[in-house]
Structure 1
Amino acid sequence: MLKEFPKPLAATIGDVVGSYYYSHRRLETMLYEAGASGDVPEGNCVDKVQNWLVREGKEDVSKAFTILGKLIETLMDGEVSTWDPDKELTARKRINEILARYQLSYGFGGRILGAHSVTAPSKAFGDALKDFSVAEVEEEFERAVRFIDSDPAAAVTAACAIVEALCKHYIATERLDLPTSQTVKPLWVVVAKHLKLSPEQLEDDDLKRVLSGLSSIIDGLGAYRTHAGSAHGQHKRAYKVAPRHARLVVHSAHSLCLFVVETWQARKALAKGR
């Protein structure tokens, strides 16, 4: 994870966004709505955006990247206008290029991928979400990754919630019956059975052992969320969730969700090929 908001990145974003909107009042409103705080920096529109991002990055670099994502969301996600398409496409290209220089990328919905301690499992799942736009899943993904270091208990809660959100989306899309209890375990049972991921549905003993591990992850997510997460308050047994614990839980959840998405896609492709 970057330790501070890079000044060259802030300079390019300031130049692109400041030149694109060129309205002090509009930029100030956009930045405050994106989560920026404190007094408005002095200077022109370009300097204002640049200095605000750098200042926020000194206080909390994770927050600065969240602000950046929200600031450029409309520009990056909106339809290209017919009155000046070259201007918008050039702006998007410059943003993508400067983000790539720092091994970052923009994700639909104002997410800056690679900025919030994202390592292999989470990055792969984040990339998969680009073509799998489900608001609830994306929201929990961002929340889990962002809070690993600053609020590990909240990250644990979000890790469980992302599995629940994905399972609900799968059940709704495939027109399956929701279980009576819509917690992570019953939801997973429905999805696993439909995707034929339940160990008892397989003949290969080695694969059975691997897929049994998925059920163990589900059990662990539900139990850990209950005992240590932020959703259910303090449990009688004291759980001190460290960032390393939250990172393990989040990455386990993301690995499981990525496997579900890839299996789902593979089954769809197989069905189309018949």
Structure 2
Amino acid sequence: MSNILRDLPTLYDKAQGLQNILISRATGGDGNNSDYAILRKTILESQFNTLVPDFVRHARDLNQFWQMIKHRYGSYAERREFIYSEFQNLIEAIEFDKSGMSPAFEKSIEVINSGYIDGMWKKAIDRKVNDPEGAITLSRSLIESVCKHILDLERVSYDKNSDLSELYKRTSELLKMSASQYETNLIFKQILGGCSGIVNGLGQLRNSVGDAHGQGVINIKPKPRHAELAVNLAGSMSHFLLSSYEESFKGR
């Protein structure tokens, strides 16, 4: 049984996967007909169905697609260019749509109105499957950017070379969500201490398996599930920071 829907979690991933299957079939590869059928059906049933290329609508399987493409274009380069151009509008529409973003996090981004953070979050989501190392690096950078934005907005100074743990410490103290500020409330102290541990862990994970540093002889390769964990944790912590900032300073 195919696991294609699990392996390609976002609609963007699925559109890219469908495109890649077609390119493989058009350039000498076999392609997986079952995966093609599943992805084709998923995209045709999505809100972006009007942007699906006509040849995908008409080709119910890869054999039908092959009969079309082999006569229309003689070279591999021409076939790749044709498929890329036909998929461009669909993939761009999905890429710049915010439906794959957590509604709560999307709303919290509006607090500081940062297109940079918005774009970083979407890139992290998009890279979970095909580029786990990049997704992990972006996850760490996401939290770092949120911390710096909050500190900048409140004119709190910090060393530009500060690592993530130091940035988070200063931000959490500003927002009164540092574990050290809750010595008399053990439950909140434990929860907030766990938040700090998550952030520090993401920073260390990025350093050990992300693509920000070169790898030695022992090259640790993260898998999509590791990247998904990192992206989800980064998104949750970033939303928590932004919503805490809004709650603390919304009355000004």
**TM tier relative to shorter chain:** 0.5 to 0.7
> Does the 8 A contact of 1:171 with 1:191 survive in 2?
yes
> Does the 8 A contact of 1:157 with 1:225 survive in 2?
yes
SS of alignment partner, residue 113 of structure 1: coil
Structure 2: distance between partners of 1:69 and 1:146? 10
Question: TM-score when scaled to structure 1?
Answer: 0.60
CA 1:180 to 1:141, structure 2 compared with 1: closer, same or farther past 3 Å?
A: closer
Structure 2: distance between partners of 1:167 and 1:136? 13
Question: TM-score when scaled to structure 2?
Answer: 0.65
SS of alignment partner, residue 97 of structure 2: strand
* Equivalent position to 1:215, from 178, 182, 196: 196
Alpha-carbon shift at residue 204 of structure 1 (Å): 1.2
Q: Which structure has the greater CA radius of gyration? A: 2
CA 1:192 to 1:8, structure 2 compared with 1: closer, same or farther past 3 Å?
A: closer
* Equivalent position to 1:156, from 133, 136, 146: 136
CA 1:236 to 1:176, structure 2 compared with 1: closer, same or farther past 3 Å?
A: farther
> Does the 8 A contact of 1:179 with 1:186 survive in 2?
no
Structure 2: distance between partners of 1:173 and 1:152? 32
> Does the 8 A contact of 2:48 with 2:94 survive in 1?
no
* Equivalent position to 1:193, from 165, 168, 173: 173
Structure 2: distance between partners of 1:138 and 1:180? 22
Number of the residue aligned with 1:22? none
Number of corresponding residues = 186
Structure 1: distance between partners of 2:147 and 2:116? 11
Letter in 2 for 1:252: L
Stretches of structure 2 that go unaligned for 5 or more consecutive residues are: 1-9, 15-38, 53-79
Higher relative contact order (CA 8 A, sep 6+): 2
CA 1:216 to 1:40, structure 2 compared with 1: closer, same or farther past 3 Å?
A: closer
Number of the residue aligned with 1:126? 106
CA deviation map 1:44-78 (0-9, x unaligned) = xxxxxxx923xx69xxxxxx43x1157xxxxxxxx
1:52 aligns with 2:86: yes
CA deviation map 1:199-246 (0-9, x unaligned) = 111131101000001110111111110010011121454312011111
Stretches of structure 1 that go unaligned for 5 or more consecutive residues are: 15-36, 42-50, 58-63, 71-110
CA 1:225 to 1:236, structure 2 compared with 1: closer, same or farther past 3 Å?
A: farther
Structure 2: distance between partners of 1:184 and 1:221? 9
Structure 1: distance between partners of 2:198 and 2:205? 10
* Equivalent position to 1:206, from 168, 183, 187: 187
Structure 1: distance between partners of 2:108 and 2:86? 32
Structure 2: distance between partners of 1:177 and 1:13? 48
Alpha-carbon shift at residue 12 of structure 1 (Å): 4.0
Number of the residue aligned with 2:248? 267
Letter in 1 for 2:81: G
| RMSD across aligned positions (CA) | 2.7
CA 1:200 to 1:140, structure 2 compared with 1: closer, same or farther past 3 Å?
A: same
Letter in 2 for 1:39: F
Structure 1: distance between partners of 2:103 and 2:232? 10
